[in-house]
Amino acid sequence: MITSLRLQNWKSFKDSTIYIDPLTFLIGTNASGKSNVLDAFLFLHLLMKGQTLEDAANAIRGGSDWIIRQGETWFQLTVTIEQGALLYDYTIKVEKDGIGLRSDEDIYVSKRGGMKATFLGENRTLDPSTLIHVNIAEGVSDVSFKDIISTVKRSLRGIFILTPDPQEMRKYTKLSRELKMNAGNIAGVLAALDTESKEKIEEQLTSYVRPLPERDIQRVTAVKVGLTQSDAMLYCYEDWNPEKPIDARGMSDGTLRFIAIIAAMLTLPSHSLLIIEEVDNGLHPSRSNELIKVLKEISSQREIDVLCTTHNPVLIDELGNEMIPFISFVKRDSAGCSNILLLEEKANLAKLMASGSIGDMMTEDTL
Q: Which one, of 352, 289, 279, 280, lies nearest residue 318 by Cα?
A: 289
Look at residue 276 in the predicted model and tell me its pLDDT: 96
Question: Which residues are CB-contacts of 320 (< 8 A; sequence separation ≥ 6)?
Answer: none
Distance CA 56, CA 136 (A): 28
Q: Note whether 16 and 134 are same-domain residues.
A: yes
Q: Note whether 185 and 219 are same-domain residues.
A: yes
CATH number of 143's domain = 3.40.50
Q: Note whether 81 and 119 are same-domain residues.
A: yes
Q: Note whether 25 and 127 are same-domain residues.
A: yes
In this structure, what DSSP letter does residue 68 have?
B
Domain count, the chain: 2
Look at residue 114 in the predicted model and tell me its pLDDT: 46
- The secondary structure element, H or E, covering residue 21 is none
User: Of 209, 244, 267, which marks where a domain is finished?
Assistant: 267
Question: Which residues are CB-contacts of 287 (< 8 A; sequence separation ≥ 6)?
Answer: 211, 212, 254, 258
Q: Note whether 326 and 229 are same-domain residues.
A: no
Q: Which one, of 227, 246, 244, 225, lies nearest residue 235 by Cα?
A: 246
User: Of 267, 291, 314, which marks where a domain is finished?
Assistant: 267
Distance CA 20, CA 362 (A): 21
Q: Note whether 306 and 198 are same-domain residues.
A: no
pLDDT tens-place string over residues 8-67: 999 999 999 999 999 999 999 998 999 999 999 999 999 999 898 999 999 999 998 899
DSSP letters for 149-195: HHHHHHHHHTEEEE---HHHHTS-EE--SS--TT-TTHHHHHHTS-H
User: Of 217, 235, 267, which marks where a domain is finished?
Assistant: 267
Q: Note whether 263 and 284 are same-domain residues.
A: no
Q: Note whether 7 and 153 are same-domain residues.
A: yes
Q: Note whether 118 and 185 are same-domain residues.
A: no
Q: Note whether 62 and 190 are same-domain residues.
A: no
Domain containing residue 313:
2-158+269-364
Look at residue 26 in the predicted model and tell me its pLDDT: 96
Question: Which residues are CB-contacts of 322 (< 8 A; sequence separation ≥ 6)?
Answer: none
In this structure, what DSSP letter does residue 333 have?
-
- The secondary structure element, H or E, covering residue 208 is helix 195-209
Q: How many other CB atoms are found less than 10 A from the CB of residue 344?
A: 11
Q: Note whether 237 and 261 are same-domain residues.
A: yes
Q: Computed from CA positions of residues 105, 110, 114, 115, in that sequence, does the dihedral angle turn out positive or negative?
A: negative
Positions in the chain whose pLDDT score sits under 70: 112-132, 213-215
Q: Note whether 151 and 212 are same-domain residues.
A: no
Q: Which one, of 235, 198, 52, 58, lies nearest residue 130 by Cα?
A: 52
Look at residue 121 in the predicted model and tell me its pLDDT: 32
Look at residue 214 in the predicted model and tell me its pLDDT: 57
Look at residue 284 in the predicted model and tell me its pLDDT: 84
Q: Which one, of 22, 95, 27, 9, lies nearest residue 341 by Cα?
A: 27
Look at residue 256 in the predicted model and tell me its pLDDT: 93
Look at residue 351 in the predicted model and tell me its pLDDT: 75
